[in-house]
Structure 1
Amino acid sequence: MSDSTNNKQREEDDYVPYVSVKQRRMEKLHKYATQRRLAEPAPRPEYEDEEPSTAGPRSGMSLLDQTVEQRRNNTLPEKTEEEKRLEEEKKIEDAQARHKALVSVQEAASGVLYTEPIKTSWEPPKYIRDMSEEQHMQARNKFHILIEGDNLVPPIMNFRDMRFPEPILEYLKEKKISKPTPIQVQGLPVALSGRDMIGIAFTGSGKTLAFSLPLVMFALEAETRLPLIKGEGPIGMILCPSRELARQTHEGLCLMADKLAKGGFPHLRSLLCIGGINMGEQSDVLNRGPHMVVATPGRLMDMLTKKKFNLDICKYLCMDEADRMIDMGFEDDVRNIMSYFKSQRQTLLFSATMPKKIQDFALSALVQPVVVNVGRAGAANLDVIQEVEYVKQEAKMVYLLECLQKTPPPVLVFAENKNDVDDIHEYLLLKGVEGVAIHGGKTQEEREFAIRSFKEYKKDVLIATDVASKGLDFAQIQHVINYDMPKEIEDYVHRIGRTGRSGKTGVATTFINQHCSEQIRLDLKHLLREAKQRVPPFLAAMDDPSEKYGLAGGCTFCGGLGHRINDCPKLEQQRRQQMGAIMSGRNAGDRADF
């Protein structure tokens, strides 16, 4: 036999099949474990009558088996349903808390951290400064004002003691504002003193004045010291979630500026930055330098990117309806806008609905903030009579005509989507009702015409989506009709808050049926109870887990009282959107690779 044949035969005899690295490692571990068990002596009992241990690290039982054995012997107490739910909620809240802080990218990257609030030249009158903290607390308790923070600013009960100039006091008198509302009693001094602030108060309580008046005062002081020239400004800025709210705030600033100019003070210029309008019409304000800017995030980012103006000397930033702005997806825009600031700014956040998760999120951007709270965040205005009626889907349109007879015009009707708004508008016009409609699908000219004609009482009914639910002030509205229940209880609170404003009483009628989710009906049931309103039988009869298991307290994510964070529909929707964004990004990547 040849040598080559012998070598081949030996190779076949020595052949060992391929074994993966993972399998070899597992076999080695198994071998070591076997050797260790053989080498260790069996545990002996200390006394002959004592049985060997059946639990513990040297028992020879797996940890899983030990846990089962201990539970069988009742050595480990079973957790209650409440404890399990609380643990689960804590995990969800911790996951939400890991969200990025609301600070600019540059500040986060460079590690800039402001520790002291901005100093201003304003201070309360001496007699108020000399009062004790107990006296200040008595004043706050009188108006049910809750305040949190360090080095608290005292409340002030009248506008004159807030040191406003005479033209501003005349302006307030013309507007029939004789004394500050609770949020203004505490909010105005806090803002005027330069402190960062979270302001929470029910709809129609005068929040807009609480943040726009300080901006006018800061702009006036800056212009008096050193007039602005081309390329400078603004001194301060207000961000709003909708165009209509931004225009309303801008008009208020312009009225105050005109009143000051007539009183012999320098003329202040306000710039409106919203989508759908021609910025060329405001070229004069841009060229001379705006003192104040009121904007929606999208158009403001566009203006800053194109360097139409800068925020080099801007020291005041207010976000109106702050929680809604973040919920609507403007969070990254707000963070990008903050990166245009060159120095520390005073930041104020105002809303009627400010869930704890938004407060915690916002606190990351504020310096020694003061939280001013008038009533529970997300609570309904107590001046609104809430009537909830069960109406079948097909009967809504006809019943709407009956509801319009409850009060004289003007009346505001809310619907969830654009098609319903258009259908209701067309139906009411056919029935001879003078109405106008507004939603995101209409042009800016159509939206402005609708709001203007409704405010001037040329039209009796305004039909709208939630674009008109946040912040808009219609002084004479006595009746709000929810053609359908919104998906979130916060939207409901904002909707009904269009009536019952400035101390007046209003009525809110809401159509509800089985098309509404169980969670929103439970939230509504608890909201009605909290406001001491009549709860209709079909809501009262609902099976309520919070009553059944004693899980009171509401959701810490959205503020709804009828559910917990484990069952929060808003959180679930947010997760779906995030997952959708991730999947669409992956699909786009796959298409690009292809």
Structure 2
Amino acid sequence: MSDSAKRRRVQRSPSPQYKIESDEEYEPYVPVAQRRQAKLAKLSAWGSSTARDNFKEARVDEEREDEEQEEERRREKVRRGRALLVEAQEVHSKKASEDAKKTEAEKEEEEDAHILAAIASRKKLASDRELAKGIEYTETLRTSWVPPRYIRARSEEKNQKIRETHHIIVDGQDIPAPIDSFEDMKIPQPLLKFLKSKRITTPTPIQLQGIPVAFSGRDMIGIAFTGSGKTLAFCLPLIMLALEDESKLPFVRGEGPIGVILCPSRELASQTYENVVQWAEALSNSGNYPRLNTLLCMGGISMSEQSHVLNKGIHIVVATPGRLIDMLEKRKLNFDSCKFFCMDEADRMVDLGFEDDVRNIMSFFKRQRQTLLFSATMPRKIQDFAQQSLIRPVLVNVGRAGAANLDVLQVVEYVKQEAKMVYLLECLQKTAPPVIVFSDNKNEVDDIQEYLLLKGVEAVAIHGSKAQEERQYAIKSFKSGAKDVMVASGVASKGLDFNDIQHVIIFSMPKEIEDYVHQIGRTGRSGKTGIATSFVNMNTPEQTLLDLKYLLMEAAQKVPPFLQTIEDPRAAQGGSLKGCPVCGGLGHSISNCPKLEDTQRRQMASHRTSQDTGGGY
């Protein structure tokens, strides 16, 4: 081969030069069919046979050129498809090799992170008007309350030492100092005298830090074990706020309320209402303070019975979500001047099916408000969600969220299903009445009550399917001591305060460990001790038993041998034994959380129902 031929073979064609034309030089694209018609019309005008022959030759050339271009585009598409396929295979093989290097624990942690990110992508808790208009508050509400001078002068190191002494964990900006005396909180003397008559002389840890935070007008997340005095921590600031506004200018009909306390159950709302009325009357009976009007707004009672309150200015409303929405929509109430919003058992109010109701209620607010969330069990998912919704919130946590009350002795017994009723009678003899027996099954609640009555035990029953009159009678007779045993479903486990209960029996373990924490928290309240006996057997899910095992270990309680034999699969995988951020259970991760599964099941059921009914009623 000659040198010139070699040079021709290796010689490359010059790179094409592209010229960027200006807008003035741009020529719009004309389809091929239109170009042919234009040429045909032009040649027809010439009328010569030579022109027609030239046109035929040009048409053949154009068709050939179009076919060549189409073939080139097809080849280019195939080349690109192959390149993308090779690239996808490389990415897949790279990911597969990376996954192979990861341990099972690391894979599970990644999966948990994805699930948590998915359920955390909810819009913040605010009114529709604020979300639509993009209204955001940056400063907290100001109040007239100021702590004593010596407390203001106290160093942060001393404040932190007081918190550590009472096992208080705080988080937030510019946290108010803790105050370990009701007198230094500047609580009125008549109320102090009333509290002393109830043997309440010094604030509990949640009150010691929580009341100064609430008095300062700050948004707050309060977490403390059951029976720790959370009710006083959020009711007292609202009472003082209402007293201040009533003293400035008395309320008349159609005005108010100043604040609202939202509860997940009727029993808890009724109990909170009674406490607020007692404390407000203690102030007004002294003759130095005005009378406050408090409205109980819940289902199962006639609102006409409280017409004497509705015909006056209302200062405080204690409510359940459904009836409160009904009253607001019918314009029997308004939130034009409401500036205090508290949710008791807030994890239940924000989570599950109550979130839409809470958003609906918040849409009636016309101004900025102080928001307080309280609960004994508030998982990290709810804490993160709440902190996004509050304004410079202060987190006050006494112990771990979801931990059991250390004043309760937890006893776990292995009892076969058919032997539960007989063994229940033996357990009732351990302590003097009153005693609460819990079961999640409503039919089982009725069966237990019937069995106890046949055995001569004075027992009442309460669950969600009973009429409101029956539920009120059961609680009233049990509190008064007329009945020795109350058999209850989970409706009685949240926040209800019964005096002198020494023993709680968990007849059937709930699936969610936080329900167990609430149930055993009905005893060992206000510094007293109590016993909680739980029945478990082969019907109890292993995951629930593992959660229970870790809870006993955390509280330094005796772990029975059959629970010690249950191994955590995460330990075998070498993973970190973190608690579930959804329910707070220590024995499982978010990927197999029973609470999350139950929530998704309910959402699917409601979605199917709305599809079947077309979204109507």
TM-score by length of 1: 0.88
Match of 1:51 in 2: none
**Aligned counterpart in structure 1 of residue 213 of structure 2, from 171, 184, 190:** 190
TM-superposed CA distance for 1:224, in Å, is 0.5
SS at match of 1:348: strand
Kept in 2, the 8 Å contact 1:257–1:268? The answer is: yes
1:479 equivalent in alignment to 2:503: yes
Determine the C-alpha separation between the residues in 1 that align with 2:300 and 2:333.
19
Matches within 5 A, 1:514-533: 514-533=538-557
Match of 2:607 in 1: 582
Kept in 2, the 8 Å contact 1:240–1:325? The answer is: yes
Kept in 2, the 8 Å contact 1:404–1:411? The answer is: yes
**1:261–1:71: structure 2 CA closer, same or farther, 3 Å change rule?**
closer
Q: Deviations over 1:121-178 (max 9, x none)?
A: 0011001001111111111111010000001100001000000111110111011001
TM-superposed CA distance for 1:528, in Å, is 0.8
Match of 2:519 in 1: 495
Q: Deviations over 1:425-476 (max 9, x none)?
A: 1110110001111111111111111111111111100111111100011120
1:509 equivalent in alignment to 2:533: yes
SS at match of 1:288: coil
**Aligned counterpart in structure 2 of residue 376 of structure 1, from 386, 400, 406:** 400
Determine the C-alpha separation between the residues in 2 that align with 1:36 and 1:354.
53
Match of 2:247 in 1: 224
TM-superposed CA distance for 1:238, in Å, is 0.4
1:153 equivalent in alignment to 2:164: no
Kept in 2, the 8 Å contact 1:480–1:508? The answer is: yes
**1:86–1:247: structure 2 CA closer, same or farther, 3 Å change rule?**
same
**1:590–1:405: structure 2 CA closer, same or farther, 3 Å change rule?**
closer
List alignment gaps of at least 5 residues for structure 1.
1-25, 38-56
Q: Deviations over 1:339-374 (max 9, x none)?
A: 111100000000000001111121232100000000
TM-superposed CA distance for 1:535, in Å, is 1.2
TM-superposed CA distance for 1:278, in Å, is 1.3
Aligned residues: 546
Match of 2:76 in 1: 32
Determine the C-alpha separation between the residues in 1 that align with 2:233 and 2:218.
13
TM-superposed CA distance for 1:67, in Å, is 5.5
SS at match of 2:351: helix
Determine the C-alpha separation between the residues in 2 that align with 1:36 and 1:546.
45
Kept in 2, the 8 Å contact 1:241–1:321? The answer is: yes
Match of 2:155 in 1: 132
Match of 2:283 in 1: 260
Taking only the aligned residue pairs, the percentage that are identical comes to: 61
Determine the C-alpha separation between the residues in 2 that align with 1:121 and 1:180.
22
Kept in 2, the 8 Å contact 1:234–1:291? The answer is: yes
CA RMSD across the alignment: 2.2
Which amino acid in 2 is paired with 1:241?
P
Match of 2:366 in 1: 342
Which amino acid in 2 is paired with 1:248?
Q
Match of 1:176 in 2: 199
**1:71–1:476: structure 2 CA closer, same or farther, 3 Å change rule?**
closer
Determine the C-alpha separation between the residues in 2 that align with 1:78 and 1:568.
27
Determine the C-alpha separation between the residues in 1 that align with 2:533 and 2:544.
16
Match of 1:466 in 2: 490
Determine the C-alpha separation between the residues in 1 that align with 2:615 and 2:127.
32
TM-superposed CA distance for 1:34, in Å, is 5.0
SS at match of 2:142: coil
TM-superposed CA distance for 1:579, in Å, is 2.1
TM-superposed CA distance for 1:517, in Å, is 1.5
**1:429–1:36: structure 2 CA closer, same or farther, 3 Å change rule?**
closer
Determine the C-alpha separation between the residues in 2 that align with 1:260 and 1:408.
36
SS at match of 2:372: strand
Determine the C-alpha separation between the residues in 2 that align with 1:267 and 1:303.
23
Match of 1:560 in 2: 585
1:314 equivalent in alignment to 2:338: yes
Match of 1:404 in 2: 428
Runs of 4 or more consecutive aligned structure 1 residues displaced over 6 Å after TM superposition: 26-29, 68-72, 74-77
SS at match of 1:176: coil
Q: Which has the larger Rg?
A: 2
Which amino acid in 2 is paired with 1:213?
L
Match of 1:109 in 2: 132
Q: Deviations over 1:175-227 (max 9, x none)?
A: 10010000000000000110000000000000000000111100111111110
Kept in 1, the 8 Å contact 2:179–2:209? The answer is: yes
**1:76–1:502: structure 2 CA closer, same or farther, 3 Å change rule?**
closer
TM-superposed CA distance for 1:577, in Å, is 1.9
Q: Deviations over 1:486-536 (max 9, x none)?
A: 111010000000000011110000011121222211111111111111111
Determine the C-alpha separation between the residues in 2 that align with 1:142 and 1:35.
72
SS at match of 1:462: strand
SS at match of 1:62: helix
Kept in 1, the 8 Å contact 2:348–2:354? The answer is: no
Kept in 1, the 8 Å contact 2:105–2:570? The answer is: no
Higher mean C-alpha displacement, 62-71 vs 549-558: 62-71
Determine the C-alpha separation between the residues in 2 that align with 1:387 and 1:27.
81
TM-superposed CA distance for 1:414, in Å, is 0.5
Which amino acid in 1 is paired with 2:147?
P
Match of 1:277 in 2: 301
Kept in 2, the 8 Å contact 1:155–1:186? The answer is: yes
Determine the C-alpha separation between the residues in 1 that align with 2:441 and 2:387.
34
Kept in 1, the 8 Å contact 2:218–2:392? The answer is: yes
**1:390–1:230: structure 2 CA closer, same or farther, 3 Å change rule?**
same
Match of 1:251 in 2: 274
Determine the C-alpha separation between the residues in 2 that align with 1:411 and 1:546.
38
Match of 1:435 in 2: 459
TM-superposed CA distance for 1:64, in Å, is 5.0
SS at match of 2:389: coil
SS at match of 2:177: coil
Higher mean C-alpha displacement, 518-527 vs 175-184: 518-527
Match of 1:291 in 2: 315
Determine the C-alpha separation between the residues in 1 that align with 2:201 and 2:449.
38
**1:36–1:248: structure 2 CA closer, same or farther, 3 Å change rule?**
closer
Kept in 2, the 8 Å contact 1:188–1:211? The answer is: yes
Higher mean C-alpha displacement, 510-519 vs 337-346: 510-519
TM-superposed CA distance for 1:105, in Å, is 1.0
Match of 1:92 in 2: 115
Determine the C-alpha separation between the residues in 2 that align with 1:362 and 1:259.
34
**1:266–1:68: structure 2 CA closer, same or farther, 3 Å change rule?**
closer
TM-superposed CA distance for 1:539, in Å, is 1.4
Which amino acid in 2 is paired with 1:143?
H
Determine the C-alpha separation between the residues in 1 that align with 2:167 and 2:309.
42
TM-superposed CA distance for 1:586, in Å, is 3.0
Which amino acid in 2 is paired with 1:481?
I
Kept in 1, the 8 Å contact 2:224–2:397? The answer is: yes
TM-superposed CA distance for 1:328, in Å, is 4.7
Higher mean C-alpha displacement, 491-500 vs 446-455: 446-455
Kept in 1, the 8 Å contact 2:610–2:616? The answer is: no
TM-superposed CA distance for 1:70, in Å, is 6.4
1:388 equivalent in alignment to 2:412: yes
Which amino acid in 1 is paired with 2:201?
S
1:242 equivalent in alignment to 2:265: yes
Which amino acid in 2 is paired with 1:163?
K
TM-score by length of 2: 0.85
TM-superposed CA distance for 1:65, in Å, is 4.5
Kept in 2, the 8 Å contact 1:103–1:364? The answer is: no
Match of 2:59 in 1: none
TM-superposed CA distance for 1:119, in Å, is 0.2
**1:191–1:406: structure 2 CA closer, same or farther, 3 Å change rule?**
same
Match of 1:48 in 2: none
SS at match of 1:318: strand
**1:489–1:590: structure 2 CA closer, same or farther, 3 Å change rule?**
closer
SS at match of 1:376: coil
